[in-house]
Amino acid sequence: MSEYFMFSKDVKREEIAPGVYRKIMGWTPELMIIHVDFGEKTAFPPHSHPHVQITYVVEGRFEIEIDKEKSILSKGDVYVVPGNTMHAVKCLEKGVLLDTFSPAREDFLNDM
């Protein structure tokens, strides 16, 4: 294992909701990147956290709700969640999200 390179094949995949899988791909104390696979018609329930989150839609279609505002996003779109803001994800077509968090989600690291 290198401190500089992370290979997807070597990273633990964990189910975080029915049909939703996460891989923690890399982190420093200031920043974390997560690969999240969603099966079609799966969801991640409303939640909040103190971390700023910026998410890139790699593939698929998603209904994103942030602070009671909803939008449909697809490949190439991005959404931003300020810290301590309620948000939720519904996957409309099987897809992948790339989540970034600042600072890193220590609660995720504690689960490893």
pLDDT digits (tens, 9 = 90+) for 85-98: 999 999 999 999 99
Q: Identify the band that residue 2 occupies on the pLDDT scale cut at 50, 70 and 90.
A: confident
User: What is the CATH number for 63?
Assistant: 2.60.120.10
pLDDT of residue 112: 64
Cβ atoms of residues 45 and 29 within 8 Å: no
**Which of 1, 45, 2, 3 lies closest to 20 in space, CA to CA?**
45
In a domain, 7, yes or no: no
Q: Based on the structure, what is the number of domains in the chain?
A: 1
Q: Rounded distance, CA 55 to CA 110, Å?
A: 22
Q: What would you measure as the largest C-alpha separation in the chain, in angstroms?
A: 42
- pTM value is 0.93
Phi, psi for residue 110 in degrees, rounded to 5: -65, -25
Domain hosting residue 95, numbered range = 21-110
Residue located via tokens 């094949």: 9
Q: Rounded distance, CA 48 to CA 88, Å?
A: 9
pLDDT (tens digit per residue) in 63-78:
999 999 999 999 999 9
